[in-house]
Structure 1
Amino acid sequence: MSELLTVDRDRCMGSGQCTFYAPSTFDLDDLSIAIVTDDTGDPDDKIQQAIDVCPTRAIARALAGGAA
């Protein structure tokens, strides 16, 4: 089953850490809020590192179909 990445836009402070660790998965929009550009853009370990270093814990993984 595939996983989807989400960014809580209310929590994101736009530090850009996710774009540093997983640049093919995350980007910052015009408001400097993180967005997911490709759920599988980077190797899983890089995506997990981006999740782990997020200072506001705004990034989450969920199984496609809604289960966490």
Structure 2
Amino acid sequence: MNGLPGIRRTAAHGSTGRAVGASGGLWARGSGPTLGDRAARSARPVRLPPPGPALDAPGHHAIVRAG
């Protein structure tokens, strides 16, 4: 995804793409349920607020580090 800081992992499922940043940030774009109420459809990445640093984002969920 263009325009994001250092990305260490990417994943896609259905019509949603996700990216995990080197610092644990989580972004998504597309039209899947991952975006929730943040955007119905987004061609630009939307920052998602996980409860801790994201480690990976496979399938329908994100794996985060416990705080």
Query: Whose strand fraction is larger, Structure 1's or Structure 2's?
Result: 2
Band the TM-score falls in, shorter-chain normalisation: under 0.3
Q: Of the two structures, which has the highest relative contact order with CA contacts closer than 8 Å and spacing of 6 or more?
A: 1
TM-score (norm 2): 0.27
